[in-house]
Chains A and B, each alone.
Chain A
Amino acid sequence: KNQVEQSPQSLIILEGKNCTLQCNYTVSPFSNLRWYKQDTGRGPVSLTIMTFSENTKSNGRYTATLDADTKQSSLHITASQLSDSASYICVVRYSPGGTSYGKLTFGQGTILTVHP
């Protein structure tokens, strides 16, 4: 069964500190992996999309890593800000042969709270 598991479920850090969120997946065949940020009461917004051949991708203070061999990804947030408080969702796309739609499998998200 295709699954995406994220850890921790929630995390509290102080402003200015770094943190790392984890994502393990069993989706196969793998197409790409995405990290989304979802603010409370809003829709998810894409942070990064990584394909099989990419093992690191940055977007400002956000850096995502991907190990396709171990089927693990991480999202590292540097010098956290209050505005980083949100849910971070790991999403894996797979492409089952013979279909035109590559399904996205969503993790349950990690809720990050940044305190001043």
Chain B
Amino acid sequence: NAGVTQTPKFRVLKTGQSMTLLCAQDMNHEYMYWYRQDPGMGLRLIHYSVGEGTTAKGEVPDGYNVSRLKKQNFLLGLESAAPSQTSVYFCASSYGTGGVYEQYFGPGTRLTVT
């Protein structure tokens, strides 16, 4: 059981470039999430998905798009990267969202936009 994996681990982009971050989970979880973590701030939710083929906006969705074509994968796209998107991105998954379902986090992707 690999849990939640993220690809790539590190990436440097120039302003205006695009990229896709891949998240995969092997726990058969329905719910998946993308967060960003910035220094001195708590994790903030970018987008989430409550099941295959569905996505929804979180707190800070501007500049990002997502897709959930397969239950085990959740992709985060940056169409035109900006320096403000320099951050560490975490993917998470959970079996449910109500009550005390735990969210399991991936190892993170450190993105730098120059």
CA distance in complex: A107, B43 (Å): 8
Whether the Cβ atoms of B42 and A43 lie closer than 8 Å is no
**Are B56 and A4 in touch, CB under 8 angstroms?**
no
What is the minimal beta-carbon distance from A113 to any residue of chain B, in angstroms? Answer: 17
Cross-chain contact of A43 among B44, B56, B106 (Cβ < 8 A): B106
The size class of the interface chain B forms with chain A is 20 to 34
Asked if B40 and A43 make an inter-chain contact with CB atoms under 8 angstroms apart, the answer reads: no
Q: Is B90 an interface residue (CB 8 A)?
A: yes
**Contact sample, A vs B, 30 pairs, CB 8 Å cutoff:** A32-B99, A32-B100, A41-B107, A42-B107, A42-B108, A43-B4, A43-B92, A43-B107, A44-B43, A44-B90, A44-B105, A46-B103, A46-B104, A49-B102, A51-B99, A89-B42, A91-B42, A100-B50, A100-B97, A101-B48, A101-B50, A101-B97, A102-B97, A104-B103, A105-B42, A106-B42, A106-B44, A107-B42, A108-B40, A108-B41
Instruction: Describe B's contact surface by its main secondary structure.
Output: loop
State which size class the interface on A falls in: 20 to 34
Pick from B56, B99, B108: contact of A101, CB below 8 A: B56
Asked whether, in the complex, the Cβ of A103 is within 8 Å of the Cβ of B45, the reply is yes
Contact A108-B42, Cβ < 8 Å, known A43-B105, A43-B108: yes
Complex alpha-carbon distance, A101 and B43, angstroms? 17
Neighbouring B residues of A12 by C-beta, 8 Å = none
